[in-house]
Structure 1
Amino acid sequence: MFEFDQYLGFLAFLGILTLGFWLMIFLITFIVPYWIGGSLIERLNEIKEEKKAKRDTATRV
């Protein structure tokens, strides 16, 4: 069967695989949507400020 060092290597492999799996789940479900949502809100605010700046310069002329 397995010798002790092979057993430890196999357990290390399973641990790393499991950590990677849960990290990917966390990134896909929380971090990426937060990142995309924040960038969309920031871009919409920039567009809103650009329109406001254009409107303010148009009324001053």
Structure 2
Amino acid sequence: MFDFDQYLGFLAFLTILTLGFWLMIFLITFVIPYWIGGSLMERMKEIRDEKKAKREASTH
């Protein structure tokens, strides 16, 4: 059915496919939500600081 070279190539293909699948699962479930959450928190801090600076500037 398979020569030894074809068998090694098939195993390499399956390995790469499996690694890619688990990498995508990891990125979708952990990395991307962490990245988005962190950027939203940073943006909220910036907005809060801008409002605080405006308030301080208007009182002085």
- State the TM bucket, normalised to the shorter chain: over 0.9
Q: TM-score, normalised by structure 1?
A: 0.98
For 1:4 and 1:39, the matched residues in 2 are separated by 50
For 2:55 and 2:12, the matched residues in 1 are separated by 62
What's the % identity of the aligned pairs?
78
Give the deviation of 1:58 after TM superposition.
0.2
For 2:26 and 2:9, the matched residues in 1 are separated by 26
**Structure 1, gaps ≥5 residues long:** none
Where does 1:27-42 land on structure 2 (aligned, <5 Å)? 27-42=27-42
Aligned residue type for 1:11: L
How many residue pairs are counted as aligned between the two chains?
Answer: 60
Give the alignment's Cα RMSD to 1 decimal.
0.2
**Structure 2, gaps ≥5 residues long:** none
- Which of structure 1's runs of 4+ aligned residues deviate more than 2 A? none
1:53 partner SS: helix
For 1:15 and 1:52, the matched residues in 2 are separated by 54
